[in-house]
Structure 1
Amino acid sequence: MPKLTLSKNALLILEQRYLKKNDKGRVIEKPEDLFRRAAKNIAQADAKYNNSKNNVKKTENEFYNLMASLDFLPNSPTLFNAGRKLQQLAACFVLPIEDDIHSIFKTLHDTALIHKTGAGTGFNFSKLRPKGDMIESAGFTSGPVSFMKIFDAATEQIKLGGTLRGANMGILDVNHPDIEEFITVKSKENVLTNFNVSVAITSDFMNAVKKNKNYKLISPRTKKTVKNESARRIFGLICGQAWLNGDPGVIFIDRINDFNPTPKLGAIESTDSCGEQPLLPYESCNLGSINLSNMVENKKINYEKLKKTIHIAIHFLDNVIDMCDYPLKENRKIVEKNRKIGLGIMGFADMLVKLGIAYDSENGLKTAEEVMKFISKEASIASMNLAAQRGAFPSWKDSAWNRKSRYFKGCHMLLRNATRTTIAPTGTISIIADVSSGIEPLFALSYIRRTAEGKTLAYFDKNLKKALMENRLYNDEIIERITKEGSINDIDEIPGRLKKIFVAGSDIEAEWHVKMQAAFQKYVDNGISKTVTLPKDATVEDVEKIFMMAFELGCKGISVYRYGSREGQVIYLSSKRDEQIT
């Protein structure tokens, strides 16, 4: 059994959010107990497929070792709830909103049930008629943004599984008549604080932007054009608002549906709360992430270890579907038809550091493609192996993976899971693993993170600390400067070879962020949660270039954040050295 080694910050997060507590709020579970509890519970799904008790125990040990080694961690609800009363294990849900009051408030009720279990929700509000449109009671509707505010207020009252506030994604189609109100709704602080917002952009719209043409705003009720609008003006408004404080992001909805594996079941309209997981109405998905930092040995990627990790992780995630107690009967019905899972990564920036490769380099992009191509291939093989033992996902016959289906798209595979890969932001589980989040570069080499509970966690990059010690540069003066600046770019004593490798996100040109996301997207079934971090002096034109580049390079969505553009920034540079270096 691997020895579990956790940083101070990891222990703090586990105690605050994950470990079991008694009625007095006292922690009554060790981290090892948490991983054992989750492993034992998720392994029980094997019994459904006629496995012996010995095999179930073997699976339990494999799952425990996978997590205790920090080689892989599942999404937070699995760690919160596996083997406990709630037993709701998925992180991502999408709920439909139709243009009638019963649908709207049924979805609000369903949202409350989901948030109580520790998951997030995504909605597309585009079917709601625009502000000022007539309704049956002879009055006028207040429009989709007003209903978003109702959802936001309800979310504020519900604590996610007793540990986190609810998280929502609100989406509106770019051709909705209320699109301007939606784009600017978060221009002031403390509005829709429980929502990320994204504009669903079509390929036609982006082409109209390029050609400086008008496009149509269409009433969702009458399906008639209500106005011809300048695509370039609306695009500029989106980018200007994103520059202001990070919202909205954009999703490229046509591209998302081009990769919809089950189009017979409907079109995808929305994503989960962080944007990486496109889902059908009522669908949910459970996610997990491989720690790529742990896959490097002697400055090389250990592909055998990575392969083994992938196969066990796919087994784990497929089992989660069977062990999950879904909040709604509609959830279980669609989830069991498609059995979507999302295996992703964290610690990519740490991997590059260990390999001696700069994030913002052609070699960095090449490494991203090679690693993700390998993960995608092995995840599909693992899913096919499970399909041979347990059966393909029930909607496979009419899916894009069956050569006899009218929806076939050129790659025949008998799969257990309609999708296998997703790259999530891994905000909290990357803290537990003590690695960089998702595919993001290092935010800074030293920084402060503010938690949802109001605590502050101080970070100093552990790989940099090791490199400085090896080069006899780890002294108070240098540490003080790194802590204040978050970067080593302007420190003359530090050699150029280290500056090239230890690059902070704010020191990376925006185009490299987009290129990196596009490199990964080539081999990811679902989407990617990635934020392009911009310096404070970035311009609206910079944002316009980023969004257009993301569209042209094949991304499914993109968001930006300009440093210091929000009062309640979660991660920020420290003004002085903090003794809690982890």
Structure 2
Amino acid sequence: MAESLSHPLSPAMTSVAEAISFQVIRRDGQPTPFMPGKISVAMTKAFLAVEGSTAAASSRIHDIVAELTEQIVAALTRHPGRGRALHVEDVQDQVELALMRGGHHKVARAYVLYREERARERAAAAAPPAEPALMVTLRDGRSVPLNRQAMAQAVTEACEGLADVEAAPVLSEIQRNLYDGITEDELGQVPILAARTLIEQEPNYSQVSARLLLSVLRKEATSFVEGSAAAGQTEMAGRYPAYFDAYVARGIEVGLLDPELGRFDLARLGAALKPERDLQFQYLGLQTLYDRYLLQTGGTRFEMPQAFFMRVAMGLALREIDREERAIEFYDLISSFDFMCSTPTLFNSGTRHSQLSSCFLTSVPDDLEGIFGAIRDNAMLAKYSGGIGNSWTRVRGLGAHIRGTNGASQGVVPFLKVANDTAIAVNQGGKRKGAVCAYLETWHIDIEEFLDLRKNTGDDRRRTHDMNTANWIPDLFMQRVEQDGDWTLFSPDEVPDLHDLYGKPFEDAYLRYEAKVAAGEIKVHKRVRAVDLWRRMLTMLFETGHPWMVFKDPCNLRSPQRHAGVVHSSNLCTEITLNTSDSEVAVCNLGSINLARHVTPEGIDRDRLARTVRIAMRMLDNVIDVNFYTIPQARRSNLRHRPIGLGLMGFQDALHILRLPIASEEAVRFADESMEEISYHAIAASVDLAAERGAYASFEGSLWSRGVLPIDSVEYVAEARGGLDLDRSSRLDWASLRERVKRIGMRNSNTMAIAPTATISNIVGATQSIEPSFRNLFVKANMSGDFTVVNPFLVRDLKRLGLWDAAMVSDLKYYDGSLGPIDRIPEDLKALYATAFEVDPTWLVEAAARRQKWIDQAQSLNLYLANPNGRKLDALYRLAWKRGLKTTYYLRTQSATHVEKSTLRTSDGKLNAVRIDAAPAVCSLDDPTCEACQ
């Protein structure tokens, strides 16, 4: 029996071990094959030392050790981020954990004592410390000695100027992950990942990681410029201008940059670059930029961050008179992180295919040619990073008569399935998935099937698992819900004008069609209880995250372009409200102000905000003229109406700076005041552009031309509903601006829309859009990987109070980033740093309502419910409608949130991060984090 215990792996376990090509890095840095049998031997010795070597004990020990070994091997090999090499200390840590978890405490104690004794023996026998000579395998196969001094210098440089970080712990973690024969690419990643493991203890290590990644990028991106590849940050500062000139030539040579960029005064632009701004990135931001935005050829990036920002600026300045002056102005704004363009603009500005717009809205006709033409348009629009919203309300419903074949229609759903699969097929060159949202009005006969599209049960041929869906809800339906009345469903071929009507005309026509139903003059119809349909809409929203709730009447009643058409849907992310028709595909061009950069503890920096808005509006207006349009209906619409959508991000950061809890009247008031400032300056900037360049073509007859501004158009909703419970106060001089609008005109039919900003928020290191903090400590997953995110404002306050320590980190992980259950944290900090699911969502609705009165389009508003039930959902969405909101976005529910505690550093076996994947995912443009329109 004793002999059998020296080979404790079963045949099955042996095959598993053979299949795993892992290595163990010994303490001297040398690799050795990973042999699970050694784990079994060590544990067997510990068991025998405690329990003796009788036959009965040996048999039991054999079974226990075999089971524990399987658990340990699985734990060591299941994390792909760890790579194929394991440190010997990691292996021994997992043995301790397995023994403790299995309840074998005496054995674990014996094993710990044995390890300590062996450590003392090694220390006593150790020669004067001499680091082992390790070799690095270069890409060409050659081996060179590891330059430890250069690595230490790079880490030290990365830590310079940052509070509460040191090179020593990073270097210590690096040492644990080195081995003889490490590849050149692996060696570049080791310091980055080493610093990354420390972020949860100190958020500033995120910048250390970013700077270490920057050194890798610098070597890669400047490899084609003689002498620059080996430059450090300080040396690179002087070489950036020469690199920039070579970069533009390189980009044109490989066919990625517009040759027109080569005709700029590159010396002037290169001298305007600010290399020090490369150091302001957080790790998540720079890694996102590195993975998805920077230009590359043959898998090698050749675009540094400041060249990237200048390329975007040059692309937007192509039609300016003094192109260099404007390019420098645009560059300075986006490289400062005060404002950021949307993702399509960042992807494509200055390139040979400058499709810079974010959102496209279409209305699908009720004929086969028109339907498949709309699906083709979806594919063409998605090809270059556009997010799409389709109104399908005109397509006749299930059972409706088809004159051409004398048959019956299969309804909307089969065509939605085709549209869904098209969005998956067109994935924007692998940069992000194609994404589309289908809208259907609540009176459509297929509405009940439409509600089921995202279910995981039922006939899969009538499901669209990847398409977003939204309800286009008329006020009359909500009034019937309030009255507990009946609601009639129609097929649009029998009620063709309902699609284009809203307000009182819609109500009159709808009542007329209900009378026709009673008279037997309409064939396809169904009568339901309005409350029952509303409850089913809420149920599906809770179960699948779809369809979203979007309100038709306020979108149209407040539209500045009422004279020129009808808003038939919103877009992919529910912030765009523009007219569509068979001849016009609505287009919107987005960018977002980083509100946190315009706030001090004393309040809003109004001068800085005014400057940002003025420059940003010019940049967004320029998008329309330099844009690459994939279909003629989009070009026609965009040039005629010139809509843009200036939004914001970093709202929660701004509240932290001002020390305002998001669940407070003060935060609601700040939402109101900050949006009023943005609205005022956005409209004023559009007037200035109109004075310089002329008003947009369809200005005459618009609400603008009548002196009706967004704050004024609220009255139309109030009038249609017989009242609106909304604070309509203002602080700025709107009277004089109103007169300027009427006298000079507007350059843009629409000026504001608040988009989700997920990815561009990552780039600038701000909280997303108008979102509350999701957690104070968690691991964020997106297409670039997993990233530890810690609330730096919270850490700063806890340090001030002497509360930031290892125990606090452990508590935050245990309580999923929530402060509520942690007794030693003061109540005022718990209120200030309350997370999304700890905040009553009515506060989010109230703040959104106060913003909405200033916005000519809409806002992407996610709502969070920790413990949802039918009554809460009903009250929340009725409140959103009653407050005059145009749209809502995702419903996020705690019960549908999966919390996985995972490990970034495994040497101590502790839980070092909280990974949060909330279901439903916010948007299919980025997986799983919301990419949305930006």
Q: TM-score, normalised by structure 2?
A: 0.59
C-alpha separation in 2, matches of 1:541 and 1:241? 15
For 1:195, the aligned partner's letter is: M
Distance apart, 1:302 and its partner CA? 1.2
Match of 1:379 in 2: 682
Partner residue of 1:239 out of 533, 538, 557: 538
Alpha-carbon contact 1:248-1:559 (below 8 Å) kept: no
For 1:551, the aligned partner's letter is: W
Match of 1:474 in 2: 804
Match of 1:96 in 2: 363
Match of 2:422 in 1: 154
Match of 1:12 in 2: 287
- Which of 84-93 and 572-581 deviates more? 572-581
For 1:74, the aligned partner's letter is: C
Partner residue of 2:901 out of 567, 575, 581: 575
Q: What pairs with 1:267-278 in structure 2 (closer than 5 Å)?
A: 267-278=566-577
Distance apart, 1:314 and its partner CA? 0.6
Distance apart, 1:258 and its partner CA? 0.6
Q: What pairs with 1:521-536 in structure 2 (closer than 5 Å)?
A: 521-535=852-866
Match of 1:142 in 2: 410
Alpha-carbon deviations, 1:439-471, whole Å to 9, x = none? 111111112222146x22221112112222222
Q: Any gaps of 5 or more consecutive residues in structure 1?
A: none
Alpha-carbon deviations, 1:403-460, whole Å to 9, x = none? 299xx9695621111111110010111111111111111111112222146x222211
Secondary structure of 2:399 counterpart: coil
Alpha-carbon contact 2:438-2:468 (below 8 Å) kept: yes
Alpha-carbon deviations, 1:96-133, whole Å to 9, x = none? 21010100111111111111101111101111111122
- RMSD of Structure 2 on Structure 1 (CA): 2.1
C-alpha separation in 2, matches of 1:110 and 1:419? 23
Alpha-carbon contact 1:543-1:560 (below 8 Å) kept: no
C-alpha separation in 2, matches of 1:16 and 1:498? 36
Alpha-carbon contact 1:115-1:161 (below 8 Å) kept: no
For 1:143, the aligned partner's letter is: G
Task: Find out whether 1:258 has 2:574 as its counterpart.
Answer: no
Match of 2:303 in 1: 29
Query: More helix by proportion, 1 or 2?
Result: 2
C-alpha separation in 2, matches of 1:578 and 1:551? 44
Secondary structure of 1:402 counterpart: helix
Secondary structure of 2:363 counterpart: coil
Distance apart, 1:138 and its partner CA? 2.8
- Which of 308-317 and 460-469 deviates more? 460-469
Distance apart, 1:577 and its partner CA? 6.1
Partner residue of 1:300 out of 603, 607, 611: 603
C-alpha separation in 2, matches of 1:99 and 1:20? 42
C-alpha separation in 2, matches of 1:449 and 1:327? 34
Partner residue of 1:38 out of 286, 300, 312: 312
Match of 1:519 in 2: 850
Alpha-carbon deviations, 1:205-244, whole Å to 9, x = none? 1010000001221220112541222111110000111111
Q: What pairs with 1:28-427 in structure 2 (closer than 5 Å)?
A: 28-46=302-320, 51=321, 55-135=322-402, 136-188=404-456, 191-223=463-495, 225=517, 226-281=525-580, 282-403=585-706, 413=741, 414-427=745-758
C-alpha separation in 2, matches of 1:70 and 1:404? 34
Alpha-carbon contact 2:661-2:834 (below 8 Å) kept: yes
What is the identity percentage for the equivalent residue pairs of Structure 1 and Structure 2? 30
Q: 1:501 to 1:30 in 2, by over 3 A?
A: same
For 1:218, the aligned partner's letter is: F
Secondary structure of 1:133 counterpart: strand
Alpha-carbon contact 1:243-1:560 (below 8 Å) kept: no
Alpha-carbon deviations, 1:141-188, whole Å to 9, x = none? 221122111001111111124300011111100000111111122122
C-alpha separation in 2, matches of 1:420 and 1:161? 30
Q: TM-score, normalised by structure 1?
A: 0.93
Match of 2:156 in 1: none
For 1:435, the aligned partner's letter is: A
Distance apart, 1:553 and its partner CA? 0.5
For 1:447, the aligned partner's letter is: F
Alpha-carbon contact 1:480-1:576 (below 8 Å) kept: no
Match of 2:819 in 1: 488
Q: 1:33 to 1:227 in 2, by over 3 A?
A: same
C-alpha separation in 2, matches of 1:30 and 1:540? 51
For 1:211, the aligned partner's letter is: Q
Alpha-carbon contact 1:483-1:577 (below 8 Å) kept: no
Alpha-carbon deviations, 1:73-99, whole Å to 9, x = none? 011000000011220000000122101
Secondary structure of 1:137 counterpart: coil
Report the structure number with the largest CA radius of gyration.
2
Alpha-carbon deviations, 1:275-310, whole Å to 9, x = none? 110122201000100001111234432111111111
Q: 1:577 to 1:507 in 2, by over 3 A?
A: farther
Alpha-carbon contact 2:400-2:491 (below 8 Å) kept: no
C-alpha separation in 2, matches of 1:298 and 1:400? 37
Alpha-carbon contact 2:600-2:658 (below 8 Å) kept: no
Secondary structure of 1:457 counterpart: strand
For 2:369, the aligned partner's letter is: H
Q: 1:565 to 1:322 in 2, by over 3 A?
A: farther
Distance apart, 1:574 and its partner CA? 4.8
C-alpha separation in 2, matches of 1:512 and 1:34? 39
Match of 1:3 in 2: 277
Alpha-carbon contact 2:595-2:654 (below 8 Å) kept: yes
Alpha-carbon contact 1:88-1:324 (below 8 Å) kept: yes
C-alpha separation in 1, matches of 2:884 and 2:810? 41
C-alpha separation in 1, matches of 2:855 and 2:899? 32
For 1:105, the aligned partner's letter is: F
Distance apart, 1:560 and its partner CA? 4.2
For 1:115, the aligned partner's letter is: A
C-alpha separation in 2, matches of 1:565 and 1:59? 50
Match of 2:829 in 1: 498
Secondary structure of 1:44 counterpart: coil
Secondary structure of 1:369 counterpart: helix
Alpha-carbon contact 2:846-2:883 (below 8 Å) kept: yes
Aligned pair count reads 567
C-alpha separation in 1, matches of 2:783 and 2:538? 28
For 2:767, the aligned partner's letter is: S
Runs of 4+ in 1 over 4 A off after TM superposition: 408-412, 576-582
Secondary structure of 1:371 counterpart: helix
Match of 2:79 in 1: none
Secondary structure of 2:390 counterpart: strand
C-alpha separation in 2, matches of 1:465 and 1:577? 21
C-alpha separation in 1, matches of 2:569 and 2:588? 13
Q: Which has the higher contact order (CA 8 A, sep 6+)?
A: 1
Alpha-carbon contact 1:94-1:284 (below 8 Å) kept: yes
Secondary structure of 1:132 counterpart: strand
Q: 1:573 to 1:471 in 2, by over 3 A?
A: farther
Partner residue of 1:550 out of 840, 855, 880: 880
Alpha-carbon deviations, 1:24-58, whole Å to 9, x = none? 32222122121110001101222xxxx2xxx3211
Secondary structure of 1:129 counterpart: coil
Q: 1:188 to 1:540 in 2, by over 3 A?
A: farther
Distance apart, 1:193 and its partner CA? 3.6
Alpha-carbon contact 1:75-1:288 (below 8 Å) kept: yes
